[in-house]
Structure formats: structure tokens, C-alpha cells
Chain A
Amino acid sequence: GAGVSQTPSNKVTEKGKYVELRCDPISGHTALYWYRQSLGQGPEFLIYFQGTGAADDSGLPNDRFFAVRPEGSVSTLKIQRTERGDSAVYLCASSPEFTGELFFGEGSRLTVL
């Protein structure tokens, strides 16, 4: 379809492992956001890309989290040395520039055992 695509939809990993979550935004959308949502809570901002550069990464919780968007389209969120507290649904959203209307993917549910 033409929406935001996130893979994998579910990821179960062990504590200490490395994880990559992928986001394929809507074609032509220059803005891309990563959010994290824990059960029963609203999404929590992680990082925002405008084009290829991370315009705002103030929401990344620590240096185990990193995200890239090398060609200004697909983005990958990388989590090193995963911890149980990283378990959440990781949401990706894209937007036409400066509209504020975010189009979300269905999320990647990460479970760290």
C-alpha cells in the first residue's frame, strides 16, 4: 500500500542483543519521526529527521539508541545492548514538510526478555 510501512511488526529478543527496526515512509514525505509507546500511554518522541539529517534527536533515551536515514527515505532505528525496559511499540510517522499531520505506521512491537 501507500502508507508508512514498518518491519518487523513483532520482534522478540534477549537482553543484551542488538535490534534494528525499519521504517519506509510515504513517498515524497520529507519529515520522518520515531516515537515509542508503552502500554496504556501516549507516544513518546524519540527523533525527527528532515531529509537525511536528524534535526532533533533530543528524545533518544541514551546512547544505546541510534537512528539513520541515509538517503532521505527509509529509516532504521538501532538499539544496542537491549534492556527489558526497551520493550514497547516503536512507531514511525512521516509527514509532508511542515504540515503537522503525521501518518503513522502500525508500529514494531519489541519485547526484550
Chain B
Amino acid sequence: AQKVTQAQTEISVVEKEDVTLDCVYETRDTTYYLFWYKQPPSGELVFLIRRNSFDEQNEISGRYSWNFQKSTSSFNFTITASQVVDSAVYFCALSERDSNYQLIWGAGTKLIIKP
């Protein structure tokens, strides 16, 4: 069965601190995709990244970076030098091959960045 676990319900840090959001997934498929989405207070989910199971290279995009470790079934997300505008709920999601990108979502981590 597929499952995504985001154990951190809420994280609060002071601006400019680095913060890592954890994501652990379960799947029996060997081909799958992992995603991170951001949901700001306005409510609209915003796509951040997609990773396929054959690509374990870490990804960096500006202040955002992602660490994919198949050995531990984890796909963690780090924000470097956090800013108040990063405050949002962040969701990790999984889709398996042939699932038409039907996403299985974690419960989300609420990130609060204090000025």
C-alpha cells in the first residue's frame, strides 16, 4: 500500500534560519514519483518539484533543496535562510507508475517563519 508520512505537524523558526521538512514514503512499486507542494494561506497549492524514483540526485533551486534517499524511503525538503514568505503548509506526495499521477498526499507540515 502507498503511504506518505510527514511526522512534523508544525515547525516554527526565526527568519534566516535553515529548516528541513521530513517526508517518508511507502510503496511497493519500483517506479514512482515524489512531489512537494506549497499551500500558502491563500489556499492554492503550488507545485515545487517532481522526482522520479530512478533519479536520486539532490536538487537545488535557489534557497530550496531536496534530498532523496531511496535507502531510507525519504524525500526531505530544506529551506535555507528562511523568509517570512516561506510560511505555508508544505505537502509531500507520491504517485506510482500507471496511476495517472493520482497523488497520495502526506498530512502536511505547517511552517511558520517568525520575523
Partner of B44, one of A50, A100, A106: A106
Chain B residues, CB < 8 A from A106 = 42-44
Please report the C-alpha to C-alpha distance between residue A98 and residue B45 in the assembled complex, in whole angstroms. Answer: 19
Chain A residues, CB < 8 A from B33 = 100
Partner of A43, one of B44, B100, B101, B105: B105
A62 contacts the other chain (Cβ, under 8 Å)?
Answer: no
Contact B103 A45, beta carbon cutoff 8 Å: yes
Contact A31 B43, beta carbon cutoff 8 Å: no
Chain B residues, CB < 8 A from A50 = 100
Contact B101 A104, beta carbon cutoff 8 Å: no
Contact B45 A43, beta carbon cutoff 8 Å: yes
Please report the C-alpha to C-alpha distance between residue A50 and residue B46 in the assembled complex, in whole angstroms. Answer: 21
B27, chain A: closest CB distance, angstroms:
15
Known contacts A91-B45, A106-B42: A100-B101 contact under CB 8 Å = yes
B5, chain A: closest CB distance, angstroms:
11
Contact A100 B95, beta carbon cutoff 8 Å: yes
Chain A residues, CB < 8 A from B107 = 40-42
Partner of B47, one of A91, A103, A105, A107: A103
A27, chain B: closest CB distance, angstroms:
18
A89 contacts the other chain (Cβ, under 8 Å)?
Answer: yes
**Nearest B residue to A50, CB-CB:** B100
**Nearest B residue to A105, CB-CB:** B44
**Nearest B residue to A43, CB-CB:** B105
Partner of A102, one of B42, B101, B106, B108: B101
A-B contact pairs, 13 of them (CB 8 A): A31-B100, A42-B106, A43-B103, A45-B103, A91-B45, A100-B35, A100-B95, A101-B47, A102-B37, A102-B45, A104-B37, A104-B45, A106-B44
The residues of A with any CB-CB pair to B shorter than 8 Å are 3, 31, 33, 35, 40-45, 48, 50, 55-56, 59, 89, 91, 93, 95, 98-107
